[in-house]
Amino acid sequence: MSGESLPSDLIDGLRVRSARPVSGGDIARAYRLETPDGTLFLKWRPQAAPGLFEREALGLRALRAHASGLGVPQVLRSSPSGLVLEWIEAGPGSAGADEDFGRALAGLHRTAGPAFGALDGGRTGYLGSQPVDLTPTGDWPEFYRDRRLRPLMRRAVELGRLPESAMGLLESLDARELCGPAEPPALVHGDLWAGNRMVDVRGRNWLIDPASFWAHREVDLAMMALFGGFGAGAFAAYDETFPLADGWRDRVDWYQLAPLLVHAVLFGGGYGRRALAVVQSYAR
């Protein structure tokens, strides 16, 4: 694709010499841009959902400001249709990268916010392509149950990904008990599967594609464990740096329920069955 066919609101003045499609997830088109000033990364989506890229840009800037020891791409340009970011050259990984990541993530999670929810006090955010309610509240169990799990499960039921009985099972659960000991709102990545962590050619860890908000920090640990890709050293180094509350491993499935529901909505199949199994396990 030539530079002339790319979105003008994002590339005008960059003097793009070439644009090569690269992998960039399911939500946006992604390109490697070669310019006289260096390589850049473009992600864009025509008719993007309102606020989708604005929320991502806000998260990237917040992470970049607070994630000491972790790289976060600089937002060079943003618009309702996409972002231009600095280019990160991926490397093969390095010895100790997982441990470095765990320690640095623990440091990031020490950044405390005023309430659970949006970084800027807004209402709507996204987990993947799915809209989620980020209206701030001081009550984490309320936020997780009412603003995250209930709407996502209702969406999955309406699409036939889960049986109606799943809603009853969810309502029977004591969210206050399952959410664990109270903690202050932490700045989280919000969608921390292994694909949203990069290691560059120098062995430095980077965070990309955030869905950041103020949350219980265990949501990031649970997401790290959902699809694999993080070694045991990452979790051990995290816990050594910023010890987790007793029973955190028992809450992993609970905090994986939200991303499982998103995947059930988008893809159905085994994700719906797995989400149902999680709810059933806690309802016993």
- What residues are labeled active site? 191
State the CB neighbour count (10 A cutoff) for residue 11: 23
Rounded Cα–Cα distance for residues 223 and 216 (Å): 12
| Residues 125, 117 contacting (CB under 8 angstroms) | no
> Any residues with CB less than 8 A from the CB of 246 and at least 6 apart, and which?
181
**Which tokens hold the place of 35?**
């310019």
Cα 5 off chain centre by: 30
> CA dihedral in degrees (56, 131, 123, 213; nearest 10)?
-50
> Any residues with CB less than 8 A from the CB of 260 and at least 6 apart, and which?
226, 271, 274, 275, 278
> Any residues with CB less than 8 A from the CB of 145 and at least 6 apart, and which?
170, 175
Please state at what angle helix 252-267 crosses helix 270-283, rounded to 10 degrees: 150
Rounded Cα–Cα distance for residues 272 and 274 (Å): 5
**Which tokens hold the place of 46?**
């025509």
